[in-house]
Amino acid sequence: MNSANIRNFCIIAHIDHGKSTLADRMMEITGTVEKRQMKSQLLDSMELEREKGITIKLTPVQMKYKGYELNLIDTPGHVDFSYEVSRSLQAVESAILVVDATQGIQAQTLANVYLAIEQNLTIIPVINKVDLPAADVERVSSEIINLLGCDPSEIIPVSAKTGLNVEKVLDRIIEFAPAPNKSSVDTSLTDHTVVSAANSETRALIFDSYFDDYRGVVLYVRIVDGSINKNAAIQMLAAQTSGIALEVGILKPEMSPKDSLNEGEVGYIVTNLKTTREAKVGDTVTLKKAPAKNPLPGYKNVLPFVYAGFFPVSNDQY
């Protein structure tokens, strides 16, 4: 598909403000998932996510709507997963900011907005849960206007649960969200270098990866330059490792294989790698036969976190 008809976006919000429910309604309206296969929080595939009702891993999905290809990345809202959010923001050009009509702007809302502004994303403000009796749309609207400096007409009041005004959100994405551009991912580029950059080299940004027991390491990528074909020999620039793209394709949200992933697209690559250490998040994937000279600005090498709490045995020692 022509990259002018592609829109890459994510949904950011505080925990429990309705991101995954909004993603459900979008998939339903665009016909990505049939009604009989629909279940709540469809993109939350991990057992722990469904048990706790929160989003932990970022899950991409491709939707077709009015002749456009919409690539959505559903992001976590919990403060412990803010790094997951920052990864997805580099792979998109726009973000839907979801705010609960009963709670208003919360701490994680601010943190995510500042991350989005840092990446120069187009922000589309949405007030969710307007169908609840405790909803205070006027107050929350003024909070969003103070935060973003936007016009009141730009804020869309929706109910992700009932589907109210969700089509307006999709129309707004098509109308206002920019088409894929290399400078949004590679911040070192200027408009001049974007124009002069030829498609001679291939670069893709890894924004998530996981190990599948049956298939090996699966990469979620955004193609920035060129294309990656099935069975192509690939190389990771930062990790200095190489492998084979055994399968490439898009997520609908289940895997749907293709012959190639092209510039501007978001999809997956099934590799023959044995561990995710060989293809770290933020690394640049390129073709082994014609490797790119400059890697994309990578993410930081994140260290694992361990949280511990200490409490006295009896309350009187508190």
What residues pair up with 258 in beta bridges, in sequence order?
248
Strand segments (E) across 52-102 = 59-65, 68-74, 94-100
H or E segment to which residue 196 belongs: helix 191-196
Name the CATH architecture for the domain at 198-287: Beta Barrel (2.40)
What the block records as the tokens of 196 is: 């002069």
pLDDT top residue among 127 and 91: 127
Cα–Cα distance between 218 and 248 in angstroms, integer? 10
- The correct answer on CATH 3.40.50.300 for the domain covering 3-183 is yes
Cα–Cα distance between 84 and 56 in angstroms, integer? 8
Q: Give residues with Cβ within 8 angstroms of 19, minimum separation 6.
A: 11, 12, 13, 55, 74, 75, 77, 98
Q: Give residues with Cβ within 8 angstroms of 92, minimum separation 6.
A: 8, 9, 10, 71, 73, 121, 184, 222
Domain boundaries, the chain: 3-183, 198-287
- The model's pLDDT over 58-108, given as tens digits with 9 standing for 90+, comes to 578 899 998 999 998 866 655 555 666 676 788 899 999 999 999 999 888
Query: Which residue in 250, 255, 278 sits closest to 265, CA to CA?
Result: 250
Whether the domain at 3-183 and the domain at 198-287 fall into the same CATH topology? no
Q: Give residues with Cβ within 8 angstroms of 313, minimum separation 6.
A: none
Cα–Cα distance between 57 and 208 in angstroms, integer? 9
What the block records as the tokens of 69 is: 């290809």
* 168: three-class secondary structure by DSSP: helix
pLDDT top residue among 141 and 85: 141
What's the confidence (pLDDT) of residue 187? Answer: 64
- The model's pLDDT over 191-214, given as tens digits with 9 standing for 90+, comes to 444 444 444 689 998 888 888 888
